[in-house]
Amino acid sequence: MGGLLLTMADDHAEPHIGDILIAADGRIQAIDHQGPFPDDVEIIDATGCLVLPGFIDAHRHCWMPALRGVNADHSLQEYVRSTRNGVMPHYRPEDVYIGNLVGLWEALDAGVTTVVDFAHCLNSPDHVAAAMQANSEAPVRTLFAVGLNDVPGHEGGFTSLQQRLDTFVELLEREGRPEHVTLWMSLSDTTQAGTGQLLREVRAVRDIGVPMTLHANLKKLRTPISEVGVLAAENLLGPDMLWAHMTQATPEELKAVHDAGGQVVSVPEDEMQMGMGTPALLRWEAAGGAPSLGISVVSAASGDLFGAMRLALQASRMLENETVMAQTGAWPSSIRITSRDVVTWATRNGAIATGQSARIGTLEPGKQADIVILKPGLFASPLNNPWSSIAVHSARHNVDTVLVGGHVVKRGGVLLTDLAHLTHELGLSHQHVFGQVASHGGSMRDVQLPT
């Protein structure tokens, strides 16, 4: 490749000029390959480019592109009323399919090669099958977290938790699932389903034996609900749990999650906008964890990890600077959190959060060749600080080439798919969903939310 390599691996001096040799099985065969390449290999010229591991989005609701911008000015309460309660009931399987497909290609376009798809718009077995089809077709590494939550206001579909679990087991046991799709489960929101349902779901998922992810400790309530405390009391915390948000979690709760082997992912764009509280990045780090990043909802957030990295970097610096000034009465003399740190959060730490660090997250021999090539161009150059060029000065338009498992999915800044078809189908889905929303009195359903 011949680019400026940023492997994120501990045993490599970074950055440096080098080549990557990818084996036929899609794994990295060598870093800094010496000597001639085999005659039959494709050469990707990355001269003048930055070569780094694919970004890892540890929390995204992939079905939502037709809602892009709907929640851009909404609080969390408004989001729940409009989208979770007002729009989700009208999603058909075909709407979930095209939403997921577009959402996954959107991630790839911005250099995200692995996504935790927290799938919470699954109204029926047909919706599950449609989401699975999209995850199978999109050439991105997905951790498909099939939702156990009920969809408010939806008629028909699943009739019980057991039916949802049975549908998942059938999917898990089905032959022919593509290698790039790993099945997880996602849990119901405790503030809507109750603590009893949380306990039932965790026990049920443990019986099946797959990882799980959940929204937790994200709302400032007059009567707090601690998912961590509920599960700790029943000895149900564990290393198979990825906790999203945790903005209202105490240091003790975060330490309990860490000590049990769990992981935490922050989504700073949504958390800072919607009134969830301060992103838990630094508090999770203080508890011993490795901060990681996600997007959550493209109905409000940017849809790429460049924006999340920038917010995470500067918000974390602001919090630390405020602490220093409060303690010393003087302005800070240095900054602890670096641009390299936040790139690590979006790559290597994402692999840690998702239990995938043996396969992805760094560029090392034996790992999957999930690779992003950034072309800095005029406005992210010169490369005085390559880490800053990525985290501060780049955006999705700088993503020139993306490989997943050694297969090129974006080349020369262009996704290798039929974008016109995706645009047409997403437009049809948008028309149907919002036609149904309008005919049912609009999206802001008047529902009772916990306070």
**What's the average model confidence in pLDDT over 11-39?**
84
Using the predicted structure, report yes or no on whether residue 424 has a pLDDT greater than 60.
Answer: yes
Digit-coded pLDDT (tens) for 331-358? 999 999 999 999 999 999 999 999 999 9
pLDDT per position as a tens digit, 364-412: 999 999 999 999 999 999 999 999 999 999 999 999 999 999 999 999 9
Q: What is the pLDDT of residues 100-144, one digit of tens each?
A: 999 999 999 999 999 999 999 999 999 999 999 999 999 999 999
Does residue 441 register a pLDDT over 80? no
* Pairing outcome for strands 212-216 and 181-186: parallel
Q: Sorting pLDDT into bands at 50, 70 and 90, what band is 329?
A: very high
Is the pLDDT reported for residue 443 higher than 70? Answer: no
Q: What is the pLDDT of residue 161?
A: 94
Look at residue 448 and tell me whether its pLDDT is greater than 60. Answer: no
Amino acid present at 372: V
- Nearest Cα neighbor of 278 from 290, 261, 291 is 291
- Residue 81 tokens read as 């009323």
Give the integer Cα–Cα distance in Å for 79 and 300. 9
The pLDDT-based confidence of 12 (bands split at 50, 70, 90) is: low
- Say whether pLDDT at 67 is over 90: yes
DSSP strand pairing (16-18 vs 3-5): antiparallel
Does 155 have pLDDT greater than 90? no
User: Given 3-state DSSP classes, what are the helix, strand and coil percentages for the chain, each rounded to the nearest 5?
Assistant: 40, 20, 45
Q: Are strands 28-31 and 20-22 parallel, antiparallel or unpaired?
A: antiparallel
Per-residue pLDDT tens digits for 221-263? 888 899 999 999 999 999 999 999 999 999 999 999 999 999 9
State residue 156's pLDDT score.
73
Give pLDDT, residue 135. Answer: 98
In the predicted model, is pLDDT for residue 433 greater than 70?
yes
Residue 205 makes CB contacts below 8 A (sequence gap 6+) with 148, 185, 187, 212, 240
Is 1 a residue whose pLDDT tops 70?
no
- pLDDT at position 450 is 55
Percent of the chain with pLDDT over 90: 86
Sheet holding 399-404, edge to edge: 16-18, 3-5, 50-53, 371-374, 399-404, 407-411, 414-415
pLDDT in tens, 284-298: 999 999 999 999 999
- pLDDT level of residue 169 (50, 70, 90 thresholds): very high
pLDDT tens, residue by residue, 177-229: 999 999 999 999 999 899 999 999 999 999 999 999 999 999 998 888 999 99
Poorest-confidence range of 14-23, 89-98, 418-427? 14-23
